[in-house]
Amino acid sequence: MPATAIPSDNSNARHMLLTTSISWIWNLADRAMIGPLLPLIVVYFHIPLALAGFVVSIFFIGYLSTAFSGWLSDRYGRKKLIVTSVTGFGVVTGLTALAPAVWFIMIIRILTGLFEGAQYPTGVAWVNESFPRERRARAIGIFQMAGNFGSVVGIVVASVVGAHFGWRGPWLVMVIPTLLTALWIAKTVREIPRTQTPAYKEVEHSNQKTQGKYSEVFRVRNVWVGFLLHGLFNFANWGLASWIPLYMIKVKHMGFTSAGLLSAVFTIGIALGMYVSGWVADKWGRRLTTSIWALLGIPLLLGFLHTSNIMVAIICIFLTGFFGNGWLGNVLTMIGDSITPNLAGSANGVVMFGAEIGAVLGPLVGGIIAQSIGLARGLNYYTILYLLAGIIIWLGADMKGGVKYQQSMAVDNLESI
């Protein structure tokens, strides 16, 4: 097939990536604050560890909105869903600071999850379809890196503001930047017709169908591999992020602020790992890169848990985030590579449903295990998740781009990210 240049609006794609990534920062910042603030909430409301784990996990009941929000974005547009999502979670985040009791926190966290869940499959689909195959993993890596940077922002805000003003203060800090970003997207981002996106053109030029039925989503192997892997990722990510601060306080006798900031080191590692693994995956392939990254997380997490040297612990937890949890963007890119454009949001919705199962179970199971055998022993079991991820990724198909994308096709109108 002769080489074909695919027209694209590169400036609009870049602006969309910038604004949605910033909104994703506030999304992840909000949910990341609960981990560092958990020790304060436990003491303030006098609750046991098992219930504390449920306070974290209940957010993801509302976050199950990911299962249908992708379909809604396929039907009504990416921009509408994202603006609604960011505005909604900006408002309810502020309401968290008003909680008079644990039950109120639980209700608000469900509502927060409902709004925040609408952004994830929508944002991933929007980024995937807006960049060509050879830049796609890197673009998703930037989006995911922004989210993990947001987790760092949330951890730092929670640790510093929480230490001075109590557990209520950090929630109020997040309201203004979140709502301003929603307004920015609403006023300045243009959503181009899906038939003009690089993802659509890739499929069109490879003589494959550009439209599919919703039922076809469930017959794509990469969707189910993504379902499993995102579940494993969230189990490890939210489990470790929730319990590392308390582990460092109780087991390593670290101060509240220092323990919270140490979990930020873990999240910084994830953010950088997402971008680097995306760059590597564009060259080496999605499966090989993901497998190497996940398996390297095993010795690194064990090193963090079993060293008595604080500097070694900091290095190990950073590298655990970089490798053990730094591969998710590659899995999401595999979904974009293998699904017809009109079903991208729906496919990501199915994958995110698996993610939320893992997110609910991660902190909850961690709390139950910690209450039974102790935090020090319980955290060792998270290494099993890295082993499973390193194996399961090989069940997926490492597509050449699009749906049976032809490598001979030249996509040369997009500059490097």
Q: How does DSSP assign 47-101, residue by residue?
A: --HHHHHHHHHTHHHHGGGHHHHHHHHHHH-HHHHHHHHHHHHHHHHHHHTT-SS
Decide: 30 and 231 in contact? Cβ < 8 Å.
no
CA gap 252, 259 in Å, rounded: 9
Q: What are phi and psi of 153, to 5 degrees?
A: -55, -45
pTM of the model: 0.74
What pLDDT sits at residue 206? 64
pLDDT of amino acid 209: 60
* % helix, strand, coil for the chain, step of 5: 80, 0, 20
Query: What pLDDT sits at residue 403?
Result: 42
Q: pLDDT at position 360, please?
A: 77
Task: At 263, list the tokens.
Answer: 């979990």
State in Å, rounded, how far the first CA of the chain is from the last one.
27
For residue 78, which of 16, 34, 134 has the smallest C-alpha distance? 16
The alpha carbons of the chain give a radius of gyration, in whole angstroms, of 20
User: Under a CB-based contact definition with an 8 Å cutoff, are residues 171 and 45 in contact?
Assistant: no
Domain at 10-207+217-395, CATH class: mainly alpha
Segments of the chain with pLDDT less than 50: 1-8, 401-417
Q: Is 33 helix (H, G, I), strand (E, B) or coil?
A: coil
User: Cα dihedral sign for 269, 383, 284, 208?
Assistant: negative
Supply the DSSP symbol for 5.
Answer: P
What integer pLDDT is reported at residue 55 of this predicted model?
83
Q: Does residue 354 contact residue 227 with C-beta atoms inside 8 Å? A: yes
Domain boundaries, the chain: 10-207+217-395
